[in-house]
């Protein structure tokens, strides 16, 4: 019954792409699934869960600069733009707006497909408001 929502949003906090995985699945699975749907942008802001060398290289191949802090277990620290990273709160605001929908916040649906459908409906309304 535990799920994890991976999302891509634009600079205005509007959802662009969504992917649901089981709660115990690593963030790398969500990153790999959403990689093909990335829009043509200059920067990608992400949290520590998305810190992987293969992900950084894939972003670099697409011409996207990664602003992702390194994991604490990393032997060589990764440099990132701290000032730009502060703008990552926009995706947190998007998740908060999704959770304004009671059905999404309390997860009434047992089936992940139906749950993702409810999230997609909420995301569509959020995108246009």
Q: Which residue spans within 3-129 are E strands per DSSP?
A: 3-9, 15-22, 43-45, 65-67
Domain hosting 62: range is 3-128
The reported pLDDT for the residue numbered 101 is: 92
Domain count of the fold of the chain: 1
The reported pLDDT for the residue numbered 109 is: 84
The reported pLDDT for the residue numbered 1 is: 60
CATH number at residue 18: 3.30.420.10
The reported pLDDT for the residue numbered 3 is: 85
The reported pLDDT for the residue numbered 64 is: 95
The reported pLDDT for the residue numbered 108 is: 81
b/e string for 36-60 if b means 16 or more Cβ within 10 A? eeeeeeeebbbeeebbbeebbebbe
pLDDT, averaged per 10 consecutive residues of the chain (129 residues), comes to 87 92 88 91 92 94 94 89 92 93 87 91 92
Nearest to 34 by CA among 6, 63, 62: 6
């Amino acid at each position: 019954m535990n799920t994890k929502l991976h999302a891509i949003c634009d600079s205005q906090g509007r959802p662009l792409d969504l992917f649901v995985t089981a709660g115990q699945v690593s963030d790398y699975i969500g990153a790999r699934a959403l990689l093909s749907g990335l829009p043509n942008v200059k920067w990608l802001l992400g949290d520590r869960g998305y810190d992987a060398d293969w992900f950084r290289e894939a972003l670099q191949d697409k011409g996207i600069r990664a602003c992702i802090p390194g994991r604490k277990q990393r032997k060589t620290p990764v440099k990132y733009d701290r000032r730009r990273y502060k703008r990552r709160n926009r995706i947190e605001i998007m998740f908060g707006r999704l959770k304004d929908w009671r059905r999404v916040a309390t997860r009434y649906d047992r089936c992940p497909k139906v749950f993702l459908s409810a999230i997609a409906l909420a995301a569509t309304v959020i995108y246009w408001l």
